């Protein structure tokens, strides 16, 4: 149950191997966030929502002297990450609102994760708690009008008679926060030197096949989990057909919410 008393949508685990293969957009955004982090040798860094570890490994590649810990609540993601990441990285299965650490890190880094956590006040309080004095938060997630066009297409298709009964009592499983409410929550958690901003990140795909594979893996997995197996292909195909008529076609309307702050 959410903090506001509403029940959250069931969120299935990821197809981690497939995500590892198609998540180049997330990696590209994350590398720019890593530039902002500018990790230094000797720092203890926590990566929240490490996924398959592509960016976690990059932290260590840029700063071999850093001590890196990565958490994710997905067992599938952590299994995939352990297969390819350097053995120096410590992986822990944990939720961002219940971290098993205390005053342990010089920096918290996170990309493409916070929007999957519904209780943002608890999230920022936990991050503040696990940081050392003067520690910093450097992060990015979906925010604002993130994927509004794609999810409108999904809503349109879900109203079709073939699919409608599977989407009764649908509740969005994501939290795309805005700038002002995020700044207020970060400040309430005790942070200072807070900077929060939104930036557009439209992401184009070469053709219908690439668009369909990416959205099925990353953006529509919760919707697909509601459908029988033999309905899923048709559902994605119909959304892809609507995206073909977008201007430009096969382009996801991503918006990224950036947060920098210090304890």
Kindly list the distances between the CA atom of residue 38 and the CA atoms of 43, 113, 230, in Å, as whole numbers in the listed order: 11, 20, 47
pLDDT in tens, the chain (263 residues): 344 443 456 678 999 999 999 999 999 999 999 999 999 999 999 999 999 999 999 999 999 999 999 999 999 999 999 998 999 999 999 999 999 999 999 999 999 999 999 999 999 999 999 999 999 999 999 999 999 999 999 999 999 999 999 999 999 999 999 999 999 999 999 999 999 999 999 999 999 999 999 999 999 999 999 999 999 999 999 999 999 999 999 999 999 999 999 99
Assess contact for 143 and 182: CB atoms under 8 A.
yes
DSSP H helical ranges for 70-219: 75-84, 120-130, 148-158, 179-188, 208-214
For the entire predicted model, the pTM comes to: 0.94
3 state DSSP class of 148: helix
| Predicted local distance difference test score (pLDDT) of residue 11 | 77
| Predicted local distance difference test score (pLDDT) of residue 4 | 43
CB atoms within 10 A of CB 244: 12
CATH code that applies to domain 16-147+172-207+252-262 = 3.40.50.150
Taking the domains of the chain in order of start, what are their residue ranges?
16-147+172-207+252-262
């Amino acid at each position: 149950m959410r903090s506001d008393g509403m029940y959250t949508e069931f969120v299935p685990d990821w197809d981690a191997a497939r995500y590892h293969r198609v998540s180049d957009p997330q990696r590209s955004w994350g590398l720019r966030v890593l530039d902002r982090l500018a990790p230094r040798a000797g720092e203890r860094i926590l990566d929240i929502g490490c996924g398959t570890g592509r960016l976690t490994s990059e932290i260590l590649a840029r700063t071999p002297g850093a001590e890196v810990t990565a958490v994710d609540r997905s067992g599938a993601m952590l299994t995939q990450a352990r297969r390819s990441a350097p053995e120096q990285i410590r992986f822990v299965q944990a939720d961002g609102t219940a971290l098993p650490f205390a005053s342990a890190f010089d920096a918290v880094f996170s990309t493409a994760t916070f929007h999957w956590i519904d209780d943002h006040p608890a999230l920022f309080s936990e991050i503040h708690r696990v940081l050392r004095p003067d520690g910093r938060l450097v992060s990015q997630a979906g925010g604002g009008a993130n994927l509004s066009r794609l999810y409108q297409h999904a809503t349109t298709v879900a109203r079709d008679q073939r699919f409608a009964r599977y989407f009764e009592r649908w509740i969005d499983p994501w939290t795309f926060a805005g700038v002002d409410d995020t700044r207020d929550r970060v400040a309430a958690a005790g942070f200072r030197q807070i900077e929060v901003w939104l930036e557009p990140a439209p992401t184009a795909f070469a053709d219908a096949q690439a668009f369909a594979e990416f959205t099925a893996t990353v953006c529509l997995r919760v919707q697909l989990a509601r459908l029988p197996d033999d309905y899923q292909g048709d559902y994605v195909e119909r959304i892809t057909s609507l995206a073909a008529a977008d201007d430009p076609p096969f382009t996801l309307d991503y918006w990224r919410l950036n947060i920098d702050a210090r304890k």
